[in-house]
Amino acid sequence: MPKHTHGNVLVVGSINMDVVTPIDQLPLPGETIMAGDVQLIAGGKGANAAVAAARLGGHVHMIGAVGDDAFGNTLKANLQNEGINCDRVAVIKDISSGTAVILLDKQSGQNSIMVSAGANAKVTEAKDESVYTWANVLMMQLETPVCVNVESAKRAKQAGITVILDPAPAISDLPDELFACCDILLPNETELATLTGMDTDSIPQVVAASKALLKRGSKHIIVTLGQRGAIWVTQDHNQHFTTMPVTPIDTTAAGDSFAGALAANLARGQSIPESIPFALAAGTLACTKLGAQPSIPTTDAVFAFINTSPQT
């Protein structure tokens, strides 16, 4: 059982408006195709993870930035409506809010995404130590400047809290000092391949690539494998966790839901092997609804899903 009912999660990350465009197939160069009804849905990997952590049992503070525009006002209000503290979400003048154009394949539920960073490129780390000492877990991604992640991770380590990095979108030349400050890395197979330059098609290859990545300084790597579940790898241990198969509708926030769920569970005192099945269920459920934040489940929904699984 958790050591406490709620944990404190600090999220440093991106806040975007997702322009979701349903299509039957990707257009070829020079081709014009008809699309379904466009939806504007709050997203951004940082904001998604923050919403997931908040819905799944965490008290959340968000560090990020939006533009001084209509999207920015909506995005900040949306986070506040989730109970997320936005005192450290800056409003940047003369720059647009982060925007993601998502081409959603209506047949498979898979997506192609184009991201404009906008105000996310102007995020800065919190200078006061109080927010780090308040937190149990720091959660980061790579849609904000890497230097901000490094400084935030250093401050978190000094405060003695757990640091989680979801290395997405993956960058091949991340600095070693970032890995050294991160307790847990959360790549998927594609991101793991980018980070290591190694093949990650099979489970043994994923384990081998994870072991190689551990040498850069992190203590734990949890690789998400879509419907194959996830693998937890340390220097002397690896464990494969499976999840219940579902028919995906939209995979947009699956990884962010996994990350936020993991952060919330660890923040309230659960161990990594206790937290991964919960996070897997959250990520799997997020695939069954359209949109990023609208698809992120609640704690009750996750436990209901876990209780229907024949593997538990």
- pLDDT tens track for 120-137: 999 999 988 899 999 999
Across the range 16-35, mean pLDDT stands at 91
* Interior angle at CA 273, CA 270 and CA 275, nearest 5: 50
Classified as helix, coil or strand, 157 is helix
Residues 276-291, buried b or exposed e (16+ Cβ, 10 A)? bbbbbbbbbbbbbeeb
In sequence order, the 6+-apart residues with CB closer than 8 A to the CB of 278 are 56, 261, 262, 265, 270, 302, 306
Q: Identify the pLDDT of residue 27.
A: 84
pLDDT-derived band at 5, boundaries 50, 70, 90? low
Distance, CA of 54 to CA of 80 (rounded, Å): 11
The distance from CA 272 to its chain's CA centroid, rounded to whole angstroms, is 16
Location of structure tokens 């989680």: 164
**What one-letter code names the amino acid at 261?**
A
Distance, CA of 89 to CA of 150 (rounded, Å): 19
User: For 106, what's the count of Cα atoms within 13 Å in the CB-facing half-sphere?
Assistant: 10
Distance, CA of 221 to CA of 183 (rounded, Å): 8
Q: Is 171 exposed, middle or buried (0-12, 13-18, 19+ CB in 10 A)?
A: middle
| Whether residue 35 has pLDDT greater than 90 | yes
Say what percent of the chain tops pLDDT 70: 97
| Whether residue 86 has pLDDT greater than 60 | yes
pLDDT-derived band at 310, boundaries 50, 70, 90? low
Catalytic residue set: 256
Sketch out the chain's domains with CATH numbers: 7-26+37-308 (3.40.1190.20)
Please state, in angstroms and as integers, the Cα–Cα distance from residue 188 to each residue in 54, 220, 222, following that order: 23, 14, 8
Classified as helix, coil or strand, 43 is strand
* pLDDT digit string, tens, across residues 192-245: 999 999 999 999 999 999 999 999 999 999 999 988 999 999 999 999 998 888
Please state which of the ranges 49-58, 87-96, 139-148, 246-255 shows the lowest mean pLDDT.
Answer: 246-255
* pLDDT digit string, tens, across residues 256-287: 999 999 999 999 999 999 999 999 999 988 88
